[in-house]
Amino acid sequence: MLILLGNGLSTHVSIDLGAESGRISLVSLEDDMLRVEEVYRFPTGGIRVPIGDRVTLRWDVLRFFQEIMKGLRNLKRDVSSVGVDTWGVDFALLDEKGDLISNPYHYRDERTRGVMNTVIEKLGRWFIYKNTGIQFMPINTLYQLYSLVLDNSLQLRIAHTFLMMPDLFNYWLTGERKSEFTIATTTQFFNPLNEDWCYEILDRLNIPTRIFPEVIQAGTVLGKINKNLETMDMQVIATASHDTASAVVAVPANTEDFAYISSGTWSLVGIEVDRPVISEKALEYNFTNEGGYGYTFRFLKNVVGLWLIQELRKEWYVGERLVTYSEIVEAASRVRSFQYFIDPDYEDFVYISEKPMSMRIAEYCKQTGQRPPSNLPEMARTIFESLAFKYRWVIEKIEEISGRKVEVIHIVGGGSRNQLLNQLTAEITRRHVIAGPSEATTIGNAIVQMIALGEIEDIKRARRIISRSFELKIYEPRLDENLINESYEKWKRIIKIESEDE
């Protein structure tokens, strides 16, 4: 049922669960203009749980669902539909009665250390890549599941259904056990050419194939919210449920010569393609082909993004209070450029650690023959500059592998508000940068719902609506190109990057 409120206004609920917080927002369309209103926010984050001889890192999904229901019950207006998106790679297991077996592991839990190399030795890097097109990262679902096989996990033996994180919340809302395409592709065992799970990989690793549900496309209407939940009458739509897929829907591009950076805890740097780019060169540089809306693909690379700043902030106080992110940007803006260089994707930066981020950065600099930064503002500046250097490297490799020229970079997500990083991206990549909207994931989530219900005809029109509904900021390179190129070459030498063999 399509609900139009007063003057042709339709309203949809976007539920966006991230690594730091969950957000419930109302997205309204009226007279070809979008309006976003955040109505509820709650903290997410992992919880540490002692199991045996180590402390595990889990997601408290029962509390997340309780918060979702609280937010939905507090809505003060009628809505047409609701959609849920989350981060990728993490999953839940249900028993034969549909009961959650245990709280899901967090992708930063250390149980996957070394597992990726074990799987590569067993199956071969090219075999895995040609069947999935997905980059090799230790956190991938494939290695999380195989760690359960290696541990002879009882959970895996009694599992009846495997659901990715947004699929779990859709199941609790509707009772439907389905896996949405964009989130399924993040597992590294979905075959984009066969449009189904890659059962050959799963069989070879003794992962039970009986547990994997039907894969559905983004925009599938799952049905009404379960009446036992005693909330309002609305449709649940399997939106582009990987948060990056939703963010890319909201990229306000009007040409095809663009790259995007979905900037947040992670930076997802890539282009939109009609078919997956699976080649030896793409494998050499460890690029990924994740699903997008309308059975497109996001040819991209994950870069560890503002996670580094989030970790650095934990040790940065003004008096007795933590600094704000805007204060970090301001402090970094006053630091001299191009003094220190790091690889944002260095393994010790990725996992949660007892070591403060400042110590990890200092150790990295010493290991690479550099004098460590002397204070936190210098470390923040180093992070921002090194992120922009990594963006340039990724975009150059995208052009090399795909044959597509990138003229414009669209930065969306929370990081699009970071004016220093945006300007550094323009300077270092030597390209036009358009920043915004900052709530791209929330907007894209709702756009898929609107298209599914026939309110917007297609994604092209949706992007035109987005471009005129939200303020966009343009950044151009201003610094001397020779200085930038010299610094870029120095960065590449220090981190020893040309091709990656991760």
Cα angle, residue 38 at apex, residues 43 and 26 outer, rounded to 5°: 125
Q: What is the 3-state secondary structure (H, E, C) of 137-149?
A: CCCCHHHHHHHHH
Segment holding 347, helix H or strand E: helix 347-350
Give, in order, the Cα–Cα distances in Å from 377 to each of 214, 306, 328, 387, 398: 49, 15, 7, 15, 32
Residue for token pair 């947004």? 166
SS3 259: strand
Structure-token match 């919340």, residue found: 169
| Burial (Cβ within 10 Å: 0-12, 13-18, ≥19) of residue 278 | buried
- What is the widest separation between alpha-carbon atoms in the chain? 65
Phi, psi dihedral angles at 287 (to 5 degrees)? -95, 160
- Sort 68 into a burial class: Cβ within 10 Å, 0-12 / 13-18 / 19+: buried
CB distance 159 to 101 below 8 Å: yes
Q: Which residue, among 395, 288, 303, has the nearest Cα to 342 in the 3D structure?
A: 303
Q: Which helix (H) or strand (E) holds 247?
A: helix 243-249
Query: How is residue 122 written in tokens?
Result: 């067993």
Establish whether the linkage from the previous residue to 437 is cis, with ω within 30° of 0.
Answer: yes
In the chain, the amino acid numbered 150 is L
Contact (CB, 8 A) for 317 and 358: no
Residue 448: exposed, middle, or buried by beta-carbon count in 10 A (0-12, 13-18, 19+)? buried
Token code pair at residue 277: 């780019």
Active-site residue, selected from the candidate residues 16, 243, 343, 345: 243
Q: Based on the residue annotation, tell me whether 458 is a catalytic residue of this protein.
A: no
Tell me if 137 sits within 8 A of 113, measured CB to CB: no
Query: What is the rounded distance in angstroms from the CA atom of residue 358 to the CA atom of residue 376?
Result: 7
Active-site residue set:
243
